[in-house]
Amino acid sequence: MTDKHLSTQFDAELSGISTRVLEMGGLVEAQVAQAVEALSAFSADLANTVLKTEERVNQMEVEIDRDLSTIIARRQPTARDLRLLIAVSKTIANLERVGDEAARIARTVQRLINAGVSSRLRLPMSDLSYEAELATTQLRKALDAFARLDVDRALEVLKTDDQIDKEFDGLMRKLITYMMEDPRTISSSIDLVFVAKAIERVGDHAKNLAEVIIYVVKGTDVRHNTPDAVENMVR
């Protein structure tokens, strides 16, 4: 078998795995959106859908991880190809954790419904929806950067990460105000604190994905640096 044929097979295997990673990313992005919609609508059915999808996401992580191990053992890739495989492993781990956060929100919805909390209770649902939109947009950008191995797109994710943090801080202040003004909201507001934190972590995982993409393309570990510092490192 010629080296060219081996290389073609390897490229096909990498392409196949990348496609499955993007499929997994699409699933977890939908999970987050459905979890927030379940909260907004107080929908037990949507919450159950999110939890069922979680099982599929977990299975995809196991399957892709297994195939990565097989490729590394059989092909013994070097340099950028090895970086890409390592990056894929880190990517699916972050995506699985995004799914965990969506499942956490879904379980909160179930708990609120079971506790008899009214959907009419004064709570900052629009703020939570906005935070979730920011987080899913970040995730979508990171997945797009992964598909294209686009450093500029990855840098966009890093530069806009603080928007989610600011929204989270604003939500915390609003929830504290609600609890002080109306003691009836204390229990549900505490649940929403954990929801807001789960959404904020989705943004963190999108940031992690962006850092992984830069590592693949540039071979530079940019973790624990400011966006400006990262840009200087890769330019």
Write the pLDDT tens digit of every residue in 29-77: 999 999 999 988 889 999 999 999 999 999 999 999 999 988 888 877 7
Distances (CA, A) of 218 to 158, 213, 221, 222: 16, 8, 9, 10
**pLDDT given at position 48:** 95
Give this prediction's pTM: 0.89
Please give the structure tokens belonging to residue 187. Answer: 């229990």
Please give the structure tokens belonging to residue 68. Answer: 């990565």
**pLDDT given at position 116:** 75
173-196 per-position pLDDT tens digit: 988 888 888 887 788 888 888 999
Express as a percent the part of the chain with pLDDT over 90: 51
Contact between 202 and 101 under an 8 Å Cβ cutoff? The reply is: yes
